[in-house]
Amino acid sequence: MRSLIFALLASVVAASRYVVYFDQWHAASLPTRNATAGITHVVTAFASSTLFTTDPPGVYRPFMNLTQVRGLFAPGTKVCMAIGGWGDTAGFSAGAATEETRKLYAKNVAATVKRLGYDCVDVDWEYPGGNGEDYKQNPNSNKTSEIETYPLLLAEIKKAIKCKELSIAVPGREGDMIAFTAEQIPKISDAVDFVNLMTYDLMNRRDNATTHHTSIQGSLDTVNKYISLGMPASKMVLGFAFYAKWFMTAPGYICYAAVGCPTVLLEAADGTDTGNSGAMTFETGNFAPLPSNLTETPDGTCGAGTAFKCKSADCCGQWGFCGTEVGHCGTGCQAGFGRCEGASTKESFKKALASAKYDSLAGGAWYWDSAFNIFWTWDTPAIMASKFDQIVVPKGLGGVMAWSLGEDSLDWSHLYALQAGVKNLKGSDSDSGN
């Protein structure tokens, strides 16, 4: 009996996953092996979903040699290939459609991970059933069959990659859980080894009032929703964001609290971005002085983390591309890297971090910049620690996940917060075994 208990405890410890996404847009400044210690899975992002729909498949070239990727982590860390990402759904829709397309898709995924030497696969379909970036062009009503075909595609991929692990990234907002019904979740759960909960971006540009994007309460609501739909807690890993989000609030309003302050229009009627919201990472480039060796961009990229400025007439937008649209020139434009018409969110962010408020009811850090009507929402290392105590442990989750590694390069404090939290998890497991 005792040995059975020890065996069970050992399996609990072994099952605890510490997953980080490593994205191609944030590879300029990377952590030491000390900072990455404890990570069990690194997920490189992204391979395009459309590569796997053809026979033969398209050729995926990872943004970094996998030998180099492995060198950033402890020996034995699994390196997974993420497919898809925000805005990339077409290949999944096509791949999931019929038994024939599913088999081809799965065969192609398996061949690609074998060719490149990946240990695991992450399907990042945002989202099966709709509410993706193109929801106004390709309506949800055109995607209802995906509710049925999504678990079938996952099962086919799992069958093809055999003992390699399969994970999925799933929406944090209840309204986006279109394909995650009580009927489908057992099938989804059976097909995958673990589930990356995107418990961030819980406020997005489709909202018209402020709230936290990754608060303790918001994350807990997502977890409870999936549990109520039948997702096993032990398969879910809790997502953390290594970035803040900002939203413009309506003129004339003073935002006294984090929740419920009206915003300006954040998304246009055709589903496009109005340029009135965005994200700000904790990467070193966002806090550094302007590089002294700026040169004109050879490829349209610019801004924090690069030494590239735009052509004189162009603006450098928050996402690091030159252009002349409101998204490049308006709020969030990167002054010094190009022309700028809007407020500098970098300056506002520094103010927010220095004067942060804490909403103890929801469990979230926030700030409202009255000079520019900008609302900020983010996670501090202390709030991250609380999420272990208030969510990961009591709900019996299977671990934690972060988006994304290179976004924390200022001081790696969020990464270290996860490392400490994971270490405590293991510590308390072995304590109870003694």
Ligand X SMILES: *[C@@H]1O[C@H](CO)[C@@H](O)[C@H](O)[C@H]1NC(C)=O
Interface positions with ligand X (CB under 6 A): 32, 34, 65, 67-68, 93, 137-138, 142, 208, 291, 293, 295, 307
Q: Which amino acid is at 3?
A: S
In whole angstroms, how close is the CB of 432 to ligand X at the nearest point? 26
| Beta carbon nearer to ligand X, 117 or 394 | 117
Instruction: Kindly give, in sequence order, each residue whose CB lies less than 8 Å from that of residue 227, ignoring residues fewer than 6 positions away.
Output: 233, 395
| Beta carbon nearer to ligand X, 291 or 323 | 291
| Beta carbon nearer to ligand X, 10 or 265 | 265
In whole angstroms, how close is the CB of 34 to ligand X at the nearest point? 4
Q: Which tokens belong to 236? A: 């879910």
| Beta carbon nearer to ligand X, 297 or 345 | 297
Residue 103 DSSP SS3? helix
Q: Which tokens belong to 393? A: 């442990």
| Beta carbon nearer to ligand X, 165 or 207 | 207
| Beta carbon nearer to ligand X, 138 or 413 | 138
In whole angstroms, how close is the CB of 74 to ligand X at the nearest point? 12
In whole angstroms, how close is the CB of 304 to ligand X at the nearest point? 13
CB atoms < 10 A from the CB of 382, how many? Answer: 10
Go through 243-274 and write b for each residue having 16 or more CB atoms within 10 A of its CB, e for each that does not: bbbbbbbeeeeebeebbebebeebbeeeeebb
| Beta carbon nearer to ligand X, 32 or 360 | 32
Q: Which tokens belong to 307? A: 């030494």
Residues 269 and 286: their CA atoms lie apart, in Å, by 31
Residues 354 and 388: their CA atoms lie apart, in Å, by 25
Residue with tokens 């024939």: 100
In whole angstroms, how close is the CB of 177 to ligand X at the nearest point? 16
In whole angstroms, how close is the CB of 51 to ligand X at the nearest point? 17
| Beta carbon nearer to ligand X, 260 or 396 | 260
Q: Which tokens belong to 215? A: 């608060």
Q: Which tokens belong to 354? A: 């220095």
If you count them, how many residues does the chain have? 434
Q: Which tokens belong to 64? A: 């970094």
In whole angstroms, how close is the CB of 102 to ligand X at the nearest point? 14
Which one, of 355, 206, 375, lies nearest residue 280 by Cα? Answer: 375
| Beta carbon nearer to ligand X, 67 or 360 | 67
Q: Tell me whether residue 148 is exposed, middle or buried, using C-beta atoms within 10 angstroms of its C-beta: 0 to 12, 13 to 18, 19 or more.
A: middle
In whole angstroms, how close is the CB of 191 to ligand X at the nearest point? 21
Which one, of 184, 199, 165, 212, lies nearest residue 392 by Cα? Answer: 199
In whole angstroms, how close is the CB of 346 to ligand X at the nearest point? 19
